[in-house]
Amino acid sequence: MMEQYVLGYSAWGRPVFCEQSGTGRRRVLFCAAFHGSEWITGAVLQRFLTSFRRRPDWQAQATLWAVPWVNPDGAALAMGLLPTWSPQYIVSRAIGGSDPGFPFTWKANGRGVDLNLNYPADWEGAVRVKSPHGPAPMNWPGPFPLSEPESRLMAELAERVRPDVLVTLHAQGEEIYWQYRGFEPPEAQALGEAMARRSGYLLTEVPPASSRAGYKDWFLQSFRRPAYTVECGLGVNPLPLCQLDGICARVLPLLETALFGENAGDDCNFSLPMV
Element housing 177 (H / E): strand 175-177
Task: Mention every residue, 6+ apart, whose C-beta is less than 8 A from residue 234.
Answer: 172, 173, 174
CB 155 within 8 A of CB 67: no
Weakest mean pLDDT among 42-51, 70-79, 240-249, 262-271: 262-271
In the CATH hierarchy, which fold is given to the domain comprising 2-260? Aminopeptidase (3.40.630)
Lowest mean pLDDT of 147-161, 163-177, 198-212, 259-273, name the range: 259-273
Q: How many helices (H) and strands (E) does the chain have?
A: 9, 8
Are the beta carbons of 258 and 191 closer than 8 angstroms?
Answer: yes
Q: Which residues contact 22 (CB under 8 A, 6 or more apart)?
A: 1, 52, 58, 59, 60, 61, 62, 63, 64
Mean pLDDT value across residues 121-135: 92
Q: Output Rg (C-alpha) for the chain, integer angstroms.
A: 17
What's the pTM?
0.95
Predicted pLDDT at 272: 40
Instruction: Specify whether the CB–CB gap between 37 and 104 falls below 8 A.
Output: yes
Cα gap 268→253, rounded to integer Å: 8
* Arithmetic mean of pLDDT over the chain: 94
pLDDT for 69-89, tens place per residue?
999 999 999 999 999 999 999
User: What residues act catalytically?
Assistant: 231
pLDDT at 256 over 60: yes
User: CA 209: distance to chain centroid?
Assistant: 18
Kindly state the average pLDDT of the residues 165-169. 98
Whether the pLDDT of residue 97 is over 70: the answer is yes
Render pLDDT for 225-253 as a digit per residue (tens, 0 to 9): 999 999 999 999 999 999 999 999 999 99
- pLDDT for 265: 57
